[in-house]
């Protein structure tokens, strides 16, 4: 047990990609960094050395020679000095402001210095999702109070550990999306994500605060020297989860280029590297499911993706992502056998057993704040479901029982379950009248009377 805990701690704290880059080994051209410095100084007006270091995420040892060179070119000046080297302030000269304007024309980016593509590829490999397998206790913990048939759990766990895509399918309301939301909770540990990547002179923004949740780090125990300042080009985050649905298009899976800022934004699968990408409601996108899935054949098969710049250059990036598809369509309805083979695990999410369904009803009653009346529940399970030929889908209990609560609020009453109210809520939810059997008997009686 102690060895296992040590392993988990190690996995939760990935190797710092930072220290080796502390001095000058960042792989970025000096001309590019000078342009970046010009943009920062243009926006801020005046900055000290340690402030510049923090903004660029680079060691002062890397920045100092650039500042010396910029002073020699008369691009910057020193308006004031402090007692230490770190307290020296820098500001643009008139010539520097002109060069800064040109730097902004080339690119509007004024964030932390990017990392090279090679460094990004290496770091994604070191913190691969496949290095942290999901165990039975971990999956059980992630599921929480989700009602899942016991024989389905080993299949889900095996799928998560396979490194292949997972295809969850079943009729609407079977809980596919809800299940996918809980599967992502099996992710453990933190990873390093760069603010941006430098590729062929272009900048691709990767860090997205809406996707990457920053993990706060403890402050250092002692003051760091000039060559020990952490590399701020990387951000430590929880393993990412990206969820997309009907809004997904083919264009979204490629780099997004802004002609005004001349910056690229990474696509969702790249932001999800070392984590999970959920594609919900597959088949409801504005592009055909077949075209969408054809885009995934190479990444799912080879674990690499190919992205293109507006210059025509194409480059390879890691595809270290567990992709979870959720769809109402069966695999046969979705695509051809060649892609179906690459899906890896095709898992049908069907109706619950009666025992599991009763558990979901009890949870719905607790959530709504209504006492679970046995007679009303039996009426719903033994009469309404068979009469209307409705499967025990996990979405039904809350949707029906919450309507009883809504009615009670309107009438100013305490909500309670009765067979009559359950039937009223059922008909309101499904938009139906009498059960099919009753309608048939009614039609037959009318014909005899005529």
> In this predicted structure, what is the pLDDT of residue 10?
38
Number of domains in the chain: 3
Residue 228 pLDDT > 70: no
Q: What is the pLDDT of residues 69-126, one digit of tens each?
A: 999 999 999 988 767 666 789 999 999 999 999 999 999 999 999 999 999 999 999 9
More confident residue, 10 or 358: 358
> In this predicted structure, what is the pLDDT of residue 281?
83
> In this predicted structure, what is the pLDDT of residue 265?
96
Smallest CA-to-CA distance from 401 within 386, 382, 434, 379 is with 379
Model confidence at 149, pLDDT cuts 50, 70, 90, reads confident
> In this predicted structure, what is the pLDDT of residue 297?
84
Domain's final residue, options 320, 348, 376 = 348
Model confidence at 253, pLDDT cuts 50, 70, 90, reads very high
Indicate whether 260 belongs to any domain.
yes
Q: What is the pLDDT of residues 119-138, one digit of tens each?
A: 999 999 999 887 788 889 99
Q: What is the pLDDT of residues 396-405, one digit of tens each?
A: 999 999 999 9
> In this predicted structure, what is the pLDDT of residue 402?
96
> In this predicted structure, what is the pLDDT of residue 23?
43
Same domain assignment for residues 230 and 126:
yes
Query: Which of the residue ranges 24-33, 162-171, 431-440 would you say has the lowest mean pLDDT?
Result: 431-440
Q: Is the pTM of the predicted complex or chain greater than 0.85?
A: no
Residue 14 pLDDT > 80: no
* HEC secondary structure over 147-196: CCCHHHHHHHHHHHHCCCCEEEECCCCCCHHHHHHHHHHHCCCEEEEECE
Domain's final residue, options 304, 320, 348 = 348
Query: Which of the residue ranges 98-107, 126-135, 162-171, 433-442 would you say has the lowest mean pLDDT?
Result: 433-442
Q: Are the CB atoms for 85 and 241 separated by under 8 Å?
A: no
Indicate whether 245 belongs to any domain.
yes
Mean pLDDT of the chain: 85
Same domain assignment for residues 192 and 314:
yes
State the residue range of the domain holding 66: 29-112
> In this predicted structure, what is the pLDDT of residue 107?
93
Indicate whether 158 belongs to any domain.
yes
More confident residue, 357 or 247: 357
> In this predicted structure, what is the pLDDT of residue 219?
54
Smallest CA-to-CA distance from 41 within 114, 113, 112, 110 is with 110
Same domain assignment for residues 85 and 170:
no
Q: Using only C-alpha atoms, what is the Rg of the chain?
A: 29
Domain's final residue, options 315, 348, 381 = 348
**Dihedral (C-alpha) 31, 36, 38, 44: value to the nearest 10 degrees?**
-170
Q: Are the CB atoms for 52 and 62 separated by under 8 Å?
A: no
Same domain assignment for residues 305 and 420:
no
Residue 222 pLDDT > 80: no
> In this predicted structure, what is the pLDDT of residue 437?
57
Give the mean model confidence (pLDDT) for residues 40-48. Answer: 93
> In this predicted structure, what is the pLDDT of residue 266?
97
More confident residue, 290 or 46: 46
Indicate whether 371 belongs to any domain.
yes
């Amino acid at each position: 047990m102690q060895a296992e805990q040590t392993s988990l701690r190690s996995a939760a704290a990935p190797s710092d990609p930072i220290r080796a880059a502390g001095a000058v080994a960042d792989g970025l051209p000096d001309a590019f960094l000078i342009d970046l410095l010009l943009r920062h100084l243009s926006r801020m007006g005046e900055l000290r050395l340690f402030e510049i270091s923090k903004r660029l995420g680079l060691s002062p040892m890397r920045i100092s020679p650039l500042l010396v060179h910029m002073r020699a070119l008369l691009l910057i000046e020193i308006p004031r000095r402090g007692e230490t080297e770190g307290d020296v302030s820098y500001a643009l000269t008139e010539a520097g402001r002109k060069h800064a304007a040109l730097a902004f024309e080339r690119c509007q980016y004024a964030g932390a210095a990017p990392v090279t593509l090679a460094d990004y590829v290496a770091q994604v490999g070191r913190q691969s999702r496949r290095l942290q397998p999901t165990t039975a206790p971990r999956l059980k913990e992630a599921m929480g109070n989700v009602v899942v048939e016991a024989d389905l759990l080993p299949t889900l766990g095996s799928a998560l550990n396979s490194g292949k895509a997972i295809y969850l399918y079943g009729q609407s309301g079977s809980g596919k999306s809800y299940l996918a939301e809980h599967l992502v909770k099996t992710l453990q540990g933190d990873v390093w994500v760069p603010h941006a990547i430098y590729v062929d002179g272009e900048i691709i923004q990767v860090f997205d605060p809406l996707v990457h949740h920053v993990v706060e780090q403890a402050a250092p125990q002692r003051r760091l020297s000039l060559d020990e300042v952490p590399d701020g080009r990387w951000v430590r985050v929880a393993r990412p989860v990206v969820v997309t649905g009907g809004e997904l298009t083919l264009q979204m899976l490629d780099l997004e280029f802004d002609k005004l800022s001349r910056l690229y934004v990474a696509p969702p699968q790249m932001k999800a590297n070392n984590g999970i990408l959920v594609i919900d409601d597959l088949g409801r996108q504005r592009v055909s499911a077949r075209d969408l899935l054809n885009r995934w054949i190479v990444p799912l098969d080879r674990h690499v993706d190919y992205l293109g710049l507006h210059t025509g250059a194409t480059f390879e990036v890691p595809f270290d992502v567990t992709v979870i598809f959720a769809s109402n369509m069966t695999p046969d309805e979705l695509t051809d056998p060649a892609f179906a083979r690459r899906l890896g695990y095709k898992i049908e999410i069907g109706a619950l057993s009666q025992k599991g369904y009763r558990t979901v009803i009890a949870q719905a009653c607790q959530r709504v704040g209504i006492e679970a009346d046995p007679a009303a529940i039996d009426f719903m399970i033994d009469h309404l479901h068979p009469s209307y030929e409705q499967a025990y889908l996990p979405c039904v209990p809350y949707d029906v029982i919450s309507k009883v609560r809504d009615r009670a609020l309107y009438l100013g009453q305490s909500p309670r379950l009765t067979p009559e109210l359950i039937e009223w809520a059922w008909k309101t939810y499904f938009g139906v009248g009498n059960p099919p059997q009753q309608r048939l008997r009614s039609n037959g009686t009318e014909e005899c009377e005529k």
